[in-house]
Amino acid sequence: MNLRFVCIKLLRALVTALIVLTFVFVVLRLSGDPIESLVGDEAPPDVIEYYRAKYGLDRPIHEQYVLYFQGIARGDMGISFKDQRDALEVVLERVPNTLQLGLVSFAFSLLFGIPLGILAALNRNTALDRFTMGFAVFGYSIPNFFLGIILILGFAMWLRVLPSSGSGSLLHMIMPVITLGTAGAGSLARFARSSMLEVLNKSYMRAATAKGVPRLRRIAWHALPNAAIPIVTIIGFRLGDLIAGSVVTETVFAWPGVGRLLVTSVGSRDLAVVQAILTLVAFTMVIANLLVDFIYGWVDPRIRVSSTLEKD
């Protein structure tokens, strides 16, 4: 992988992170004086002045901007006013739960969606193909909060085989994973099918058939690597949906993760925690997109040679 490709992608990622963090800074400052919400309206002026000085809010705006980035670099995102602890700490202790749910759901949608899509493409216009397309449309049309509620009604209240909320055991994971993973499995199945179909129609596939390459080897060696390129991109996009989906899913199933923390913090306007989560999500997404770009460049040599400057 050439250096130029890596540098340009790194620069783009940095600028993206910078813009998101600047957005957070602007919105924070626009939304009013954080000290007032901290100490209340009736606080004496000298107390307000003390806190303003303590948090650097009496300085000019460009100095505050620098301070803000210094704070982020140190991992200091303010104090959660709900339990008076470091906001980042409050967020980080929820991360393992979210990762657990997210990774398992991600694996579920990959292991279910991609093989289904490939099999559908190989058996075009059969019952399996139609089932796959039906499932795909179902998967991305059903809102995940509604799917979650249907699952709770079916498995927790009617059949009484699964716990309806909470965490702790494998049983607790089943419904959240299905809720979070179905949309991803649906869109991956659809995408894998279409990119596989496209590859199967290529002339090199016909050439391989003419050469007498056995069917299994043709699919595994000639078709799959080429079909994998667009699938890798869509997997990168999935992460954003996964993060957004976890907000809803964790709330439906009372799963103690970052998503649920975000909803409760927004409800109680615990700005420091919201800011910490937003920063964390921005970094996660930027790093993930960067990784996808690199994987993409590695899978498809054409990318790193030709389109190092512009995507179009």
Partner 1 sequence: MAVEAAPRGLRVTPRKLAKYPPLVLICIGFLGLVLFAAAFADLVAPKPYTAQDLLNRLKPPSFLGGPAQYLFGTDELGRDVLSRLLYGIRVSVLVAILGTVIGAVVGTFLGFVAAHVRGIVEETIMMMVDVQAAVPFLIIALAVLAFFGNSLTLFIIIMGINGWENYARLTRGMVLSASTHGYAVAVRSLGAKPLRIYGRHILPNIASALIVQFTLNFPSTILLETSLSFLGLGIQPPLTSLGQMLGAGRNHLILAWWIAVVPGVTIFLTTLSISIVGDWLRDRLDPTLRGR
Q: Which of residues 54-93 bind partner 1 (CB under 8 A)?
A: none
Task: Please give the structure tokens belonging to residue 117.
Answer: 């899509």
CA atoms of 197 and 122, how far apart (whole Å): 8
Residue in 90, 192, 223, 281 binding partner 1, rule: CB under 8 A: 281
Q: Is the dihedral of CA 175, 181, 183, 185 positive or negative?
A: negative
- Crossing angle for the helix pair 224-252 and 271-299, nearest 10 degrees? 170
Give the span between the Cα atoms of 133 and 14, in whole angstroms.
39
Binding footprint of partner 1, residue count (CB under 8 A): 53
Kindly tell me the burial class for residue 157, based on how many C-beta atoms sit within 10 Å of its own C-beta (0-12, 13-18, 19 or more): exposed
Q: What mask, x for binding partner 1 by CB under 8 A, covers residues 219 to 248?
A: ---------------------xx-xx--xx
Instruction: Tell me the closest approach of the beta carbon of residue 294 to partner 1, in angstroms.
Output: 16
- Shortest reach from residue 267's CB to partner 1, in Å: 7
> Is the separation of the CB atoms in 288 and 236 below 8 Å?
yes
Amino acid identity for residue 213 in this structure: V
Q: Does 312 bind partner 1 (CB under 8 A)?
A: yes
Site map (CB under 8 A) of partner 1, residues 123-162, x = contact: --------------xx-xxxx-xx--xx-xx---x-----
Which H or E element spans position 86? strand 85-86
- Spatial separation of the C-alpha atoms in residues 239 and 237, rounded to whole Å: 5
Q: Which is nearer to partner 1, 213 or 295 (CB)?
A: 295
Asked if 15 is part of the footprint of partner 1 (rule: CB under 8 A), the reply reads yes
Residues near partner 1, by CB under 8 A: 12, 15-16, 19-20, 23-24, 27-28, 30-31, 137-138, 140-143, 145-146, 149-150, 152-153, 157, 194, 197-198, 240-241, 243-244, 247-248, 251-252, 262-263, 265-267, 269-271, 274-275, 277-278, 281-282, 285-286, 289, 312
